[in-house]
A and B are shown apart, each in its own frame.
Chain A
């Protein structure tokens, strides 16, 4: 136990190493996107061989949150930290505005229209405007406020005649 402890202390783990490791933790419902892409990481504290990470849950009822927390802890232990603490940040509300540029590109590539950036609270009007991820047409209309997961709405594209989903603004 003692030798193992010493071995674990040797490398100095940088903040960047933690960010890189977190970029390997994916959302099980959107496997191409990491929790960094989704803007779910609100705070990282590295202190010697201890690390503390705060995760902002997206939708309150999202079933993936608990699994993501476990995966974060496992990933950080893999880096060699002796003490890993993963906390839920219940004070910062998550917003789809937190999704990064690269996250938006990945959504697009998945055939899922990215959420619009909004400054003031979104309205019914904002919800109706979506660009088809398949043909790029703006001639689309909102089909249903809900979709295959809590974070998606369903739209119809008049341009190519297909239904598509969008990551909802939240």
Chain B
């Protein structure tokens, strides 16, 4: 695989899958404002996935975006395990949203300098949109961290569950050196360290115990096409309509 294709595929797959997970809260959010927020962020994420699949199609002769989203097998996906996990309670959803979105935001900040110009333009374009996502995560976590003993304890438990999975965001790909050498992307290790600086001080200020940054393979495998048992059912549900009416036009 072309290194840039590998990079864009994993970013698009992450966005698509977490977007689908967010969308599962539509109509079920704990309060109306959160229902709307999750639905809006789902719409953004799936829109970003579409834009990234379109980059693959336009610049690397990739398949059309619908084929990428709806017709691949789990082993063809490059998303990390963190995004595949079911939503669980709202505490896990929020903590995952916080951990994932800070990483995504920083990744795009790095990509604004990418030597692959279409990616640099895209990163530039969507920064404002992503800022709303991290602001949402920060605001709500801060409020709940100071809410009650129960809300704090639930978020700490969610952090303990989500943190090792978040390591999988930074699982090194097969082309780290090529991507860094050609100036396309500086690499997962640099991103991971920047991310930890960003999330650690916030979590500490909200009174959470932050697990240590690790290279332990908890949550690894997604970037190589090895997934959790949760991905296949998600893909089945996501593609249910298109599979029932493959010839339909929209």
Contacts and interface: CB of A to CB of B under 8 A. Distances in A.
A60 interface: yes
Interface string A142-170: 01111110100010000000000000101
Given A60-B126, A90-B118, A91-B121, A143 B44 contact: no
A61 B127 CA distance: 13
Interface string A76-99: 000000000000001101110000
Contacts of A144: 33, 36-37
A146 B47 contact: no
A105 to B, nearest CB: 23
Given A61-B46, A154-B33, A168-B132, A146 B40 contact: yes
B220 to A, nearest CB: 29
B139 A94 contact: no
A124 interface: yes
B206 interface: no
Nearest to B133: A145
Contacts of A93: 121, 124-125, 127-128
A59 interface: yes
Interface string B104-144: 00000000000000100110111111011001100100000
B: interface residue count bin = 20 to 34
Contacts of B36: 144, 146-148
A168 B131 CA distance: 12
B50 to A, nearest CB: 8
A91 to B, nearest CB: 5
B26 interface: no
B47 A59 contact: yes
A21 B46 CA distance: 32
Given A145-B139, A146-B136, A94 B33 contact: no
A155 to B, nearest CB: 12
Given A145-B135, A170-B128, 17 more contacts: A60-B48, A60-B125, A60-B129, A61-B43, A61-B44, A93-B124, A93-B125, A124-B135, A143-B33, A144-B36, A145-B139, A146-B33, A147-B36, A148-B36, A150-B40, A150-B43, A170-B129
Interface of A: 59-62, 90-91, 93-95, 121, 124, 127, 143-148, 150, 154, 168, 170
3 smallest A-B Cβ distances: which pairs?
A: A61-B47, A144-B33, A146-B40
11 contacts: A60-B48, A61-B47, A62-B47, A90-B125, A93-B127, A93-B128, A94-B125, A145-B136, A146-B136, A150-B40, A150-B44
